[in-house]
A and B are shown apart, each in its own frame.
Chain A
């Protein structure tokens, strides 16, 4: 085991106040530590010196919950491809390196404290259509609804999205298109998703716009930064589904609703 001496430039900010970069020296970091464990060590030392520890998001530390974030040296989740911050290890750095650690920056992701941002906008987009409405009774017989292997695999690929927000952080426009396209697409390709497909697509895109995310300029930085390697082809599909849904909404029949009831 070897040890690394690192120079950190860490973003410090309290909600609603302007932030700044703080220079923090991080000597003697074991190279088998994960990035979050390195932050734990740094925080222990700050606390023992009576200083305020750096606030950052983390939960499962297994790369599947989507809680950890951090823009590391200008890239969401750091330099390792298809890896979350918790699965990034310090052996990917060299002793003497200066490491910039920043929050995922977007108007729709306000800073709560230091590196912690509020990603509640993603939840509101999900609530606007990222679901199917089914009767939750006894489970259906297996394979009662045949789904082709290719479609099932594709839906699973989209469903791999952990909602971490790296796509927003990587995009120069802070666009949420990769997230929204994965969450809408995983249902829009499946038979269970068909009844609410148009409503889902319109609802989620409109909520995305309302949250103040930017617009996609087809540069695919999101795909490069995504720890789950979600493909930008889902964005192609969202564009297509949205166009179809909007035309149907504009020109299609609106069913007459019988009076009474509610």
Chain B
């Protein structure tokens, strides 16, 4: 047991080991971001559709499913953030004397700002959880946000989302966060295949384009929800 643990701590202590963990947790979070968007787009299918979906998530595996997902995601986020912060610190220490002139020839702006976009997204996730999951600083936990669905009293996710995005500051912060998430994904998506040792000269351009398409999709889908409610009055 301790031999395996020693090996793991050596793996984590190494540059490539940390990066592989960042890539694997990044892959999990990419999967989550996609599923989250698909589920949320049900808002356009009407009140019952999204409320039923919300109820399904809450009651899957007798209410255990949502907690399994939460624990898994929390672990993924923790590993992703702790490892990247530590890698970034090492990167900064690796060049104590800066160049007078340093030109980037091929790398994107997004790839140079991963830690900034990432930490802003982290702050957003905290706000987002307080907003819609813990529901602090609003009345989303009150009886006004309960509704009858097939004879069962369930949480009115639909009304909560509509009311949530009717407030301009929240909508604006969501849009900024989604733009940064999209920037983060535009580098992170194809990057993870390189770190996991999968990229080839033939597949790399495909991963790159898929990453841009995915980043665009995540922004467009999430922004559509916010904008259609906030600016175009959907559901209000």
B is a partner of A: yes
Which A residues contact B (CB, under 8 angstroms)?
9, 11, 19, 21, 71, 73-75, 100, 102, 105-108, 170, 172-175, 205-206, 208-209, 212-221, 223-225, 231-233, 235-243, 246, 249-251
Chain A residue at smallest Cβ distance from B18? A215
Q: Which 4 A-B pairs have the closest CB atoms?
A: A240-B197, A250-B7, A214-B94, A74-B101
Complex CA distance for A240 and B3, rounded to whole angstroms: 22
Indicate whether B195 reaches chain A with its CB closer than 8 angstroms. yes
**Set of chain A residues within 8 Å of B13, measured between Cβ atoms:** 209
Chain A interface, >50% SS class: mixed
Given A221-B107, A224-B106, decide whether A172 and B112 contact each other with a Cβ distance below 8 A.
yes
**Set of chain A residues within 8 Å of B16, measured between Cβ atoms:** 205, 238-239, 242-243
Q: Judging by beta carbons under 8 Å apart, are B93 and A100 in contact?
A: no
Given A74-B103, A172-B104, A246-B17, decide whether A217 and B91 contact each other with a Cβ distance below 8 A.
yes
Complex CA distance for A250 and B7, rounded to whole angstroms: 5
Q: Can you list 30 A-B pairs, Cβ within 8 angstroms, ordered by A? A: A102-B100, A172-B91, A172-B95, A173-B90, A205-B14, A205-B15, A208-B15, A212-B94, A213-B94, A214-B94, A214-B95, A216-B195, A217-B91, A217-B114, A218-B190, A218-B195, A219-B104, A219-B108, A219-B112, A220-B106, A220-B107, A221-B104, A224-B106, A233-B199, A242-B17, A243-B16, A246-B14, A246-B17, A250-B7, A251-B4
Which of the residues A175, A225, A239 comes within 8 Å of B194, measured between beta carbons? A239
Q: Judging by beta carbons under 8 Å apart, are B94 and A239 in contact?
A: no
Chain A residue at smallest Cβ distance from B98? A105
Rounded to whole Å, the gap between the CB of A98 and the closest CB of chain B is 10
**Set of chain B residues within 8 Å of A173, measured between Cβ atoms:** 90-91, 94-95
Taking residues whose C-beta sits less than 8 angstroms from the other chain, chain B's interface range is 35 or more
Q: Judging by beta carbons under 8 Å apart, are A215 and B99 in contact?
A: no
Given A218-B195, A219-B107, A246-B17, decide whether A71 and B90 contact each other with a Cβ distance below 8 A.
no
Chain A residue at smallest Cβ distance from B102? A74
Complex CA distance for A259 and B227, rounded to whole angstroms: 74
Which of the residues A74, A214, A231, A239 comes within 8 Å of B195, measured between beta carbons? A239
1/0 per residue, CB under 8 A from A, across B10-44: the answer is 11011111111000000000000000000000000
Q: Judging by beta carbons under 8 Å apart, are B101 and A73 in contact?
A: yes
**Set of chain A residues within 8 Å of B199, measured between Cβ atoms:** 233, 236
Chain A residue at smallest Cβ distance from B114? A217
Rounded to whole Å, the gap between the CB of B187 and the closest CB of chain A is 8
**Set of chain A residues within 8 Å of B201, measured between Cβ atoms:** 231, 233
